[in-house]
Amino acid sequence: MIDFELEPQVVNQLKMYHLAAAQLMRPISREFDEREHSEPRAFWEAMWTASQNLGEPADAKPRAGEGASRLRNLNTCLSVEELCWGDAGLFLSIPGGGLGGAAVAAAGTAEQRERFLRRFREGQPKWGAMAITEPGCGSDSAAITTTATRDGDHWVINGTKIFCTAGQMAAEKSEGFVVVWATVDRQAGRAGIKPFVVEHHTPGMTVVRVENKLGIRASDTAMIVFENCRVPADHLLGSAEVKRDGGFKDVMATFDATRPIVAAMAIGVGRAALDFVRDFLAQNNIPVRYGISPRRLTALERDFMEMEVQLKAARLLTWRAAWMLDMGKRNNLEASMAKAKAGKAVTQITQKAVELLGPVGYSRKELVEKWMRDAKINDIFEGTQQINLMIVARRILDYSSRELN
């Protein structure tokens, strides 16, 4: 029998995150949306302090037989939903391992995980970022052209990366790092792609631009150039050996871990919009009648119920993908299903919220129009809607990328 009951300690932790979302994030949400590239330092300090007192750090590894701690990925998704109900951009700006930490956890050795991730459990706020997308390589991550060439005890990295979430903070303003995906052997194709940890302020790594964006404007999204950037040999995550079944699979393993989190982000934004519409209808004495024939429902009631259904469906898919990861099961199909469903659902929900609320939804007086802007990124990064649907089709039909592209 499936049990959706949450552990008491998880419920208490979610209450604390919701309180932070309501009291720390919502009041400054509009300010840092309008002041893109400003640094919400007081917020960072508050969240960093709170994170040190809230259970396991984000980069902790689950251990068998520890009850709720075994569900680290699922609990992370629950917490992310609460924080993105507050503000998705501010959530992405919070100091932590981020996508870089996820890449280390997925591709690094036990020693590398301890060495690179321990910094996020101690000291001052730090950031991790991942650099994979390139100007000529968007959704097709296997087409990476950035190179890493061995030179004695170092690797020399050359190339350009774009759309690096928290890239500026990780590269320039903290004791964090950027995980760069580069090819060590062009002839090997996907198998030759390897991840490298590049420490902050490493010579040859330069942030050349920070993007002006439609949404999630409180977080930085950077373009980073690597020009003869030298990193120690042991900063290559995992093995340097080029194997036919290696390389790009480490990329996908990272996405299998992070796509449920991105889906949870979408759910948080969608829930914020849904809650606002529900409260607005209640305040204006407009009922939503459940349990009656669909033929008797108004158009507004049907739209609102459809928003609820889509959000709940996305949430269940996300929980399943995260739970499978916690159980050590392969979740490639489920992670892509969750990401595709949540990205599409939140886009539709926030657009419908603006539509139903009319001038209130379109006005900048409320946050509804901002949530619509914030929502769209969830349908794009960590693999676009189209890419994730293609992955789902390949897994269900058991087709290779060559057979179905």
Q: Domain of 220: which CATH number?
A: 2.40.110.10
Exposed, middle or buried, 243 (CB in 10 Å: 0-12/13-18/19+)? Answer: exposed
Does residue 295 sit within a domain? yes
Closest alpha carbon to 252 in 316, 312, 333: 333
> How many Å apart are CA 109 and CA 115, to the nearest integer?
10
382 a catalytic residue: yes
Does residue 303 sit within a domain? yes
Does residue 335 sit within a domain? yes
Residue 1 is predicted with a pLDDT of 44
Residues 300, 343 share a domain: yes
Residues 72, 48 share a domain: yes
CB 163 within 8 A of CB 133: yes
Does residue 197 sit within a domain? yes
Catalytic hit among 82, 134, 334, 382: 382
Does residue 307 sit within a domain? yes
- Given a cut of 70, the residues of the chain with pLDDT beneath it are 1-3, 52-69, 123, 138-139, 141-142, 244-250, 405
Q: What is the 3-state composition of the chain as percent helix, strand, coil, each rounded to the nearest 5?
A: 55, 15, 30
Domain boundary among 44, 75, 96: 96
Domain boundary among 51, 77, 96: 96
Which residues, listed in sequence order, are joined to residue 159 by a DSSP beta bridge? 226
**Which residue segment(s) compose the domain that 352 sits in?**
248-397
Residues 164, 80 share a domain: no
Residues 177, 41 share a domain: no
Residue 68 is predicted with a pLDDT of 44
Residue 159 is predicted with a pLDDT of 97
Structure token digits, residue 271: 């829930």
Residues 253, 209 share a domain: no
Q: What's the domain count of the chain? A: 3
Closest alpha carbon to 176 in 134, 126, 133: 126
> How many Å apart are CA 372 and CA 348, to the nearest integer?
9
CB 171 within 8 A of CB 157: no
Residue 119 is predicted with a pLDDT of 83
Does residue 354 sit within a domain? yes
> How many Å apart are CA 121 and CA 43, to the nearest integer?
18
Taking CA atoms, 170 is separated from 88, 126, 211, 225, in Å, by 19, 7, 15, 14
- CB atoms under 10 Å from CB of 259, counted, come to 30
Does residue 314 sit within a domain? yes
Residues 383, 261 share a domain: yes
Residues 258, 385 share a domain: yes
Residues 153, 29 share a domain: no
Closest alpha carbon to 274 in 298, 314, 306, 320: 306
Residues 191, 144 share a domain: yes
Residue 242 is predicted with a pLDDT of 84
Q: At residue 179, what is the residue type?
A: V
Residues 265, 196 share a domain: no
Helices (H) and strands (E) in the chain, counts: 14, 7
Taking CA atoms, 10 is separated from 7, 13, 62, 202, in Å, by 5, 5, 15, 39
Domain boundary among 235, 261, 289: 235
Residues 266, 178 share a domain: no
Residues 222, 282 share a domain: no
